[in-house]
Amino acid sequence: MPSPALESLRRSVATLEGGGTDGHGPDLPLGLAGFEGMRTGVLHEISPASPAAGHDGAALGFAAFLLGGLARLAAKPVLWLAEGDMPHAPGLARFGLGPDRLVMVVPGRSKAALWALEEAARSTALAAVLGEVRGLDFTAARRLQLAAGHSGTTLLLLNRAAAAVTPALTRWRVESLPGAEGHWRLDLLRCRGRSPDDSGMVASWKVEWDGTAHCLGLAAPAGHRPAVPECARVA
């Protein structure tokens, strides 16, 4: 029976060598204590804390941060499938999603959007795809997961609806925290292989996005702020 220490050592060696666990690509390190990194080639779900209009800035920011990191990690472009209005391009560019890295798709019809999402997930030309989805049923999500697994493309679903997309490997809820820009609370609601605690979450972090350095720092409580926030650089 392999010990947990040996397992985690194996995993970190594999990450350092560039190959992730189970034959997926390397994980995207986030610098969050207790979380190894975003697994690539799988489905992840991100939701804003409130479905009200205008409350999704933090979720969009976190999603854009992940996309930028994944694009840099794999050195391939990413696709953003917008529903309704697309995000503001200069805002996205601050996360490293310039026109050379990002292709924006505005499908218009939900059936076409689902098809486009699957088509993009199946392609090996992209590092990651973000789909703004509403009401994705289990079968469709499972197909997307399989497509992503085959191609190694990471799939991020920005889900504003209340219902969760079950086959996702991780499910995040992102909320704005008071403070300067980029202060978010990330709640990891679900992570395969880990069970939630009493509050219904697997883990929670208060992070601070450093607008220029493309990395997340763990926000220290007020008054104990270090001179330079410790953070893990993304590739």
Partner 1 sequence: MAVNRAAALAGLRPGMKLASALAQVPSSRVLPHDPEGDARLLAALAERCGLFSPWTATDGASGLWLDVTGSGHLFGGETKLLEQLTGRFHALGLTARAALAATPGAAWAWARFGDPAAPILAEAGELEPLPPAALRLAPATVQALSDLGLRRVGDLMGLPRAQLSRRFGHTVVWRLDQMLGDEPEPISPLRPPVAHRVHASFAEPISRAEDIAATLGHLLGSLCRRLEEDGMGARRLDFTLFRVDSTLARAEIGTGAPNRDPIHLARLFRDRLADIRPGFGIEAACLEATAIQPQSAAQSDLEGQAGEADLSRLLDSLSNRLGPGRLMRLIPRPSHVPERSVRRLGPGAPPPAENWPEGRHPIRLLPHPEPIEAMAPIPDAPPLRFRWQGRLHRVVRADGPERIAPEWWHEESEERDYYRVEDEQGLRLWLYRLGHYGHAEPPRWYLHGVFP
Interface contacts to partner 1, rule CB under 8 A: 52-58, 60-62, 64, 76-77, 85-94, 98-100, 102-108, 112, 115-116, 119-120, 123-126, 175-179, 181-184, 209, 211
Q: Least CB distance from residue 52 to partner 1, whole Å? A: 8
Q: Collapse the DSSP code of 38 into the 3-class scheme (helix H, G, I; strand E, B; otherwise coil) and give the result.
A: strand
Nearer to partner 1, 18 or 54 (CB): 54
Min dist. Cβ of residue 81 to partner 1 (A)? 10
**Closest distance of CB 172 from partner 1, Å:** 14
Helix (H, G, I), strand (E, B) or coil at 152: coil
Sign of CA dihedral 32, 38, 39, 44: positive
Instruction: Please tell me the distance from the alpha carbon of residue 209 to that of residue 94, in angstroms, as a whole number.
Output: 11
The residue (of 86 and 218) whose beta carbon lies closer to partner 1 is: 86
User: Between residues 62 and 172, which has the closer beta carbon with respect to partner 1?
Assistant: 62
CA dist., res. 184 & res. 201, Å (int): 16
Q: Which is nearer to partner 1, 32 or 58 (CB)?
A: 58
Give min distance, CB of 4 to partner 1, in A. Answer: 36
Kindly give, in sequence order, each residue whose CB lies less than 8 Å from that of residue 161, ignoring residues fewer than 6 positions away. 51, 133, 134, 135
**Does residue 186 sit in helix, strand or coil?**
strand
